[in-house]
């Protein structure tokens, strides 16, 4: 297997296709969200659509990792905040770990965005990680999503992380219904849009920062 080039299993997704991937995802798992503005029940989609086992646990002592998707069965070291030590535990493939304390430190800190992010990893990146199982099969293959940049990540991991970061908010705020909702609220340049941004954040159940970024992407701000 040494000649096998795992990077070939990384989907090539140019930035301008992120909306397309989010639409494909929703068409498969929650097509209603493409019809009119609504809150996307991402936890339900993660569990019942993708079949992921979502667990809210401590992951690291420094709270620098907010989420993990586990792609193969095996062992993994995570931090137990009660015992205050790292422990090696056995996990099953299709497990997602979310560290609620670390999520608060991310700049678009909300749980739904984190869940959507991990869904993208499973949806688009599982073949890459499953193929890695030919090396060290005792250990679980996983991706770690970090609060800040990824200084130790490989190029492959950086590419996949950028894809998950870019696509997750597009799943929670799909383009057409999001624009419809923003226009309904009269969001436009040169206005004080604070209250409307708050309303959208509450409606789509995401953070205000995430809404503000999405408005710019959709050229509404």
Residues at the contact surface with Zn ion, assessed by CB under 5 A: 145, 161, 164
Total count of residues recorded for the chain:
221
Nearest Cα to Cα of residue 47 among 66, 29, 27: 29
Question: Least distance to Zn ion from the beta carbon of 54, Å?
Answer: 15
Nearer to Zn ion, 110 or 164 (CB): 164
Nearer to Zn ion, 76 or 164 (CB): 164
Question: Least distance to Zn ion from the beta carbon of 168, Å?
Answer: 9
Nearest Cα to Cα of residue 17 among 118, 163, 159: 163
CB-based contacts of 93, cutoff 8 Å, min separation 6: 70, 71, 72, 73, 140
Q: Nearest to Zn ion by Cβ — which residue? A: 145
CB-based contacts of 208, cutoff 8 Å, min separation 6: 197, 198, 201
Nearer to Zn ion, 65 or 211 (CB): 65
Question: Least distance to Zn ion from the beta carbon of 65, Å?
Answer: 10
Nearest Cα to Cα of residue 69 among 109, 125, 30, 28: 125
Nearer to Zn ion, 164 or 187 (CB): 164
Question: Least distance to Zn ion from the beta carbon of 143, Å?
Answer: 5
Three-state DSSP class for 54? Answer: strand
Nearer to Zn ion, 48 or 158 (CB): 158
Question: Least distance to Zn ion from the beta carbon of 1, Å?
Answer: 25
Nearer to Zn ion, 145 or 171 (CB): 145
Phi-psi region of 86 (alpha: psi -120 to 50; beta: other; left: phi over 0): beta
C-alpha triplet 107, 109, 113: angle, nearest 5°? 115
Question: Least distance to Zn ion from the beta carbon of 121, Å?
Answer: 6
d(CA 21, CA 19): 5
């Amino acid at each position: 297997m040494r000649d096998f080039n795992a990077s070939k299993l990384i989907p090539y997704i140019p930035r301008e296709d992120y909306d397309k991937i989010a639409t494909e995802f929703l068409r498969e798992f929650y097509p209603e969200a493409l019809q009119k503005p609504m809150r996307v029940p991402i936890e339900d989609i993660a569990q019942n659509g993708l079949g992921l086992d979502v667990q809210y646990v401590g992951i690291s002592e420094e709270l620098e990792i907010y989420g993990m998707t586990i792609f193969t069965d095996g062992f993994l070291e995570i931090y137990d905040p009660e015992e205050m030590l790292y422990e090696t535990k056995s996990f099953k493939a299709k497990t997602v770990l979310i560290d609620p304390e670390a999520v608060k430190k991310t700049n678009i800190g909300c749980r739904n965005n984190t869940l959507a992010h991990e869904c993208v990893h499973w949806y688009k990146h599982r073949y890459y990680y499953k193929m890695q199982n030919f090396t060290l099969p005792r250990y679980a293959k996983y991706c770690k999503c970090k609060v800040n940049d990824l200084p130790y990540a490989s190029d492959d991991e950086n590419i996949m992380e950028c894809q998950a970061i870019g696509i997750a908010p597009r799943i929670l705020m799909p383009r057409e219904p999001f624009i419809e909702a923003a226009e309904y609220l009269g969001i436009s340049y040169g206005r004080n849009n604070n209250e409307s941004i708050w309303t959208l954040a509450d409606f789509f159940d995401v953070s205000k920062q995430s809404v503000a970024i999405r408005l710019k992407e959709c050229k509404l701000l």
